[in-house]
Homo-oligomer: A and B are copies of this chain.
């Protein structure tokens, strides 16, 4: 087994993900980030133009991962129920595999500066559209209850995106189980029968 070697740039991003998650973007400083990495503060600027650029890279990397998970499912021929199960599992896997970055994605995106902020919102909207399509299809085929689609998708995302708040890698539940349980809750709820 060959040990993976990290470039300095990757080291900085990795440390930034941890720090932005733990302290928030606004309360994180380039000086402290530099100390964490083991270089002088000004050296960070030979890898990144600004603090904002680091946030941008983190957020858009996670966005890419979400789309890579969604795309093949959208283009598949399964039933809406099957599609939903798969996309729930894949989406939560992205979160669980990138806990630091995903948490930054969910909590710190609003600090993105303006060209990036607009682009971010547009991407997020496109992603949510994928979920809306699946829900719409499920309603049309009478697999899902006839609820308001926007509302339904918001509830689904509440459940999915809450994962970053409670999931710990050391926990007793395996990542595979988490996806199954979330799907089951979303589809069947809490009540018996």
Contact = CB atoms under 8 A, between A and B. Distances in A.
A173 interface: yes
Interface stretch (A6-14, A56-64, A69-77, A183-191): A183-191
Interface string A115-130: 0000000000000000
B191 A185 contact: no
B24 A145 contact: no
A165 B186 CA distance: 19
Interface residues of A, number: 42
A185 B162 CA distance: 16
A177 to B, nearest CB: 10
A81 interface: yes
Contacts of A162: 154-155, 157-159, 161-162
A189 B107 CA distance: 27
Contact of A110 (B24, B147, B161): B24
Contact of A151 (B23, B110, B135, B173): B173
A55 to B, nearest CB: 12
Interface of A: 23-27, 81, 84, 107, 110-111, 135, 138, 142-145, 147-148, 151-152, 154-159, 161-163, 165-166, 173, 181-182, 185-192
**Which 6 residue pairs across A and B have the least CB separation, nearest first?**
A158-B162, A26-B26, A189-B189, A26-B27, A188-B189, A187-B191
